């Protein structure tokens, strides 16, 4: 009843398995090593699946950071975003500024 923070559509065209598949192939997708057929499948999934699309965006940006790291300085704002997202999942137990006894 309580539809809160997230928008859920009730289109069950894709399953959790499809998401796992999409994520698993994300790297290959970004490498451009997927067949056109597979790319189309992933692309379609990304179009209809926001979590996967966000994961894709993140990976794509991460790649830009890594690539540019060899050539030039990465914009600080983008680097901050990447790192904050990386740190968001697993929080370090030792917070900076906290004196360990
Ligand atoms: Zn998905």
What are 70-83's pLDDT values in tens digits?
666 667 888 788 78
Residue 90, burial from CB neighbour count under 10 angstroms (0-12, 13-18, 19+): exposed
Q: Report the distance separating Cα 25 and Cα 27, nearest Å.
A: 5
CA 80 – ligand 1 centroid, Å: 25
CA 72 – ligand 1 centroid, Å: 33
Which two tokens mark 30? 């970004």
**Residue count (the chain):** 101
Q: So what's the pLDDT on residue 74? A: 67
CA 19 – ligand 1 centroid, Å: 4
CA 12 – ligand 1 centroid, Å: 11
Tell me what the pLDDT averaged over the chain comes to.
Answer: 77
Comparing CA positions, the residue from 37, 57, 36 lying closest to residue 46 is: 57
15: pLDDT confidence band, cut at 50, 70 and 90? confident
The one-character DSSP state at 72 is S
Residue with tokens 């993140």: 58
Q: State pTM to two decimals.
A: 0.53
CA 43 – ligand 1 centroid, Å: 10
99: pLDDT confidence band, cut at 50, 70 and 90? low
**Helix, strand, or coil (residue 84):** helix
């Amino acid at each position: 009843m309580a539809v809160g923070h997230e928008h859920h559509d009730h289109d069950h065209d894709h399953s959790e398995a499809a998401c796992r598949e999409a994520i698993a192939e994300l790297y290959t997708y970004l490498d451009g090593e997927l067949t056109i057929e597979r790319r189309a499948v992933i692309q379609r999934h990304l179009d209809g699946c926001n979590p996967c699309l966000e994961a894709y965006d993140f990976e794509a940006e991460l790649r830009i950071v890594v690539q540019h790291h060899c050539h030039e300085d990465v914009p600080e704002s983008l680097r901050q975003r990447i790192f904050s997202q990386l740190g968001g999942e697993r929080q370090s137990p030792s917070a900076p500024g906290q004196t360990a006894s």
